[in-house]
Amino acid sequence: MTVNETFEQLVLEADLNSPAPEVEPARQAWFLARAREIVQRRSQAAGRKLTCRVETFGCQMNARDSEKIIGILRSAGFEEAASEDADFLVYNTCTVRDNADQRVFGRLGRAGHLKKNREGMKIAVCGCMVQEKTNVEKIQKSYRFVDLIFGTHNLYRFPEYLSACLESEGMVIEIWDRADRIVEALPTARKYPFKSGTNITFGCNNFCSYCIVPYVRGRERSRQPVEILRECERLAADGVVEIMLLGQNVNSYGKDLDISCTFADLLTEVCKIEGIRRVRFMTPHPKDLSDDVIRAVRDNEKIARHIHLPLQSGSDRILKRMNRRYTKEQYIDLALKIRREIPDVSITTDIIVGFPGENDDDIDDTIDVVRRVGFDNAFTFIYSKRAGTPAAKMPDQVPEAEKNRMFNRVLAAVQETAHGRADRLTGRIMEALAEEVNVKDSRYITARLSNNMLVHVPGDPSMIGKMLQVRLDECRGFYFFGTVVGE
Ligand code: 5AD
Ligand code: SF4
């Protein structure tokens, strides 16, 4: 766990006989101290440690938020449980597509049953889904056993809500429409000891017409470069070798700051940190991925040879209605420039199929881009109507059966082009970060190449977290089997 020592000091110094301070982060430190007392008392009464579990849905941002939530729960004295049958259960939700919402409601229903058999169990729901009023109303009405609901902007106040929720019986609900500040310094528990994400911006200003993110994550805010660099240095000192810089549109990093620091500048600075061996970033928007960033990747061996560049559609007509602010040819030019400038780079993408008004001619254009760029991998999504977004009000919504049919066309093209792209690397020796024991065969370790592809090598758990030299012996479509030839 990365414990921020200054914050821990504030927790230890908190005077619980006086009222909670008004200033942050001292206020949260005070509530964390109070939560610790309650958890300790209950653990003693129960004769065992209290347990917690955080279930995460959605993107890397949510994964990072969950690390913060777990960090706070552990710091309060909870131990992580292996299942949802835990004393404090959190659902960190996603609302980007409707099926994500439905999954959460299904899981919540089952959690309600668990609660009947576990005295004192608390259930919290947070994240993007609860930024939407209708979802909160649904929980209040049909899932009354939920104890705490909080949104994306006030995550830093989790210690305060945790303590309130442990002390009271009713439902604690606090959702904000916007963020009032970026609070640094709360504890985080990393999922992997050797790699970590770091937020560089929060929110999004792009308002793509299908997307709910700008409404639930709010306007774009950049963290100060010194805060990001300090965090990366702390992570490196704590054994992290790979950092992923996270933002909805990393290209616009720094534009809202009063000092001059572009995303390319930030990338270059992070690479200078001793101990950091690999730097990734997610996600650049094709409308403004600058030559500076391409150059920074090209010139800096530490930056991963992987660019995730969401296409969404290859049709100019649909791109315009999506408010993406680039054309098909501009996208192709950019992707081909990236391939020319950065040898061995892999380019992956996101595609939405079935956007309002979309027809087979538009799908032809999308497939044309897929073929001309030759994506290494593509995540294809069926358009999901999100209430409150401009696309939801467009009159020409596509029937489900049509969406499915067009989706299958795109999927076939994606599979056809992506398959075999990896094979060009067979026989090469490349650096790979050993991440975990292979889930299917424990005699193998799964490692990740700079271009984000996986390679399975014979080995043992002592290799995990190490950067290995691996020969790529055999390509199996999207991944390899290999042999370690050095460290
Ligand atoms: N329907 C389907 N897919 C969506 N995405 C975002 N909003 C929607 C939606 N309403 C996809 C985009 C984005 C990815 C994270 O999710 O492709 O890049
Ligand atoms: Fe959504 Fe577009 Fe912002 Fe990405 S850039 S989060 S798709 S609005």
The yes-or-no answer to whether 192-303 and 305-424 have a common fold is yes
Q: How many CB atoms lie within 10 A of CB 206?
A: 17
- CA–CA distance, 110 with 101 (Å, rounded to integer): 15
User: Which CATH topology does 429-486 take?
Assistant: OB fold (Dihydrolipoamide Acetyltransferase, E2P) (2.40.50)
pLDDT of residue 177: 86
> pTM to 2 decimals?
0.93
Q: Ligand 1 within 6 A of 386 CB?
A: yes
CATH code of 3-174, in short, is 3.40.50.12160
pLDDT of residue 182: 77
SS (H, E, C) the chain: CECCHHHHHHHHHCCCCCCCCCCCCHHHHHHHHHHHHHHHHHHHHHCCCCEEEEEECCCHHHHHHHHHHHHHHHHHCCEECCCCCCCEEEEEECCCCHHHHHHHHHHHHHHHHHHHCCCCCEEEEEEHHHHCHHHHHHHHHHCCCCCEEECCCCHHHHHHHHHHHHHCCCCEEECCCCCCCCCCCCCECCCCCCEEEEECEECCCCCCCCCCHHHHHCCCEECCHHHHHHHHHHHHHCCCCEEEEECCCHHHCCCCCCCCCCHHHHHHHHHCCCCCCEEEEECCCHHHCCHHHHHHHHHCCCECCEEECCCECCCHHHHHHHCCCCCHHHHHHHHHHHHHHCCCCEEEEEEEECCCCCCHHHHHHHHHHHHHHHCCEEEEEECCCCCCCHHHHCCCCCCHHHHHHHHHHHHHHHHHHHCCCHHHHCCCEEEEEEEEECCCCCCEEEEEECCCCEEEEECCHHHCCCEEEEEEEEECCCEEEEEEEEC
How close is the Cα of 91 to the center of ligand 2, in Å? Answer: 23
User: Which residue lies with its CA nearest to atom 1 of ligand 2?
Assistant: 211
CA dihedral 168, 101, 190, 150 (to 10 degrees): -30
- What atom in ligand 2 is closest to the CA of residue 96? 1
Q: Ligand 2 within 6 A of 199 CB?
A: no
How close is the Cα of 190 to the center of ligand 1, in Å? Answer: 27
One pLDDT digit (tens) per residue for the chain, 487 residues: 455 778 999 999 999 999 999 999 999 999 999 999 999 999 999 999 999 999 999 998 899 999 999 999 999 999 999 999 999 999 999 999 988 889 999 999 999 999 999 999 999 999 999 999 999 999 999 999 999 999 999 999 999 999 999 998 889 999 998 877 777 778 888 989 999 999 999 999 999 999 999 998 899 999 999 999 999 999 999 999 999 999 999 999 999 999 999 999 999 999 999 999 999 999 999 999 999 999 999 999 999 999 999 999 999 999 999 999 999 999 999 999 999 999 899 999 999 999 999 999 999 999 999 999 999 999 999 999 999 999 999 999 999 999 999 999 999 999 988 877 888 899 999 999 999 999 999 999 999 999 999 999 999 999 999 999 999 999 998 899 999 998 8
Q: Ligand 2 within 6 A of 204 CB?
A: yes
User: Which CATH topology does 192-303 take?
Assistant: Transcription Regulator spoIIAA (3.30.750)
- What atom in ligand 1 is closest to the CA of residue 382? 2
Q: Ligand 1 within 6 A of 310 CB?
A: yes
How close is the Cα of 348 to the center of ligand 1, in Å? Answer: 15
Q: How many CB atoms lie within 10 A of CB 82?
A: 8
- The CATH number of domain 305-424, selected from 3.20.20.150, 3.10.450.50, 3.30.750.200, 3.40.30.10: 3.30.750.200
User: Which residue lies with its CA nearest to atom 9 of ligand 1?
Assistant: 384
How close is the Cα of 350 to the center of ligand 2, in Å? Answer: 11
Structural domain boundaries in the chain: 3-174, 192-303, 305-424, 429-486
- CA–CA distance, 373 with 389 (Å, rounded to integer): 30
How close is the Cα of 199 to the center of ligand 2, in Å? Answer: 16
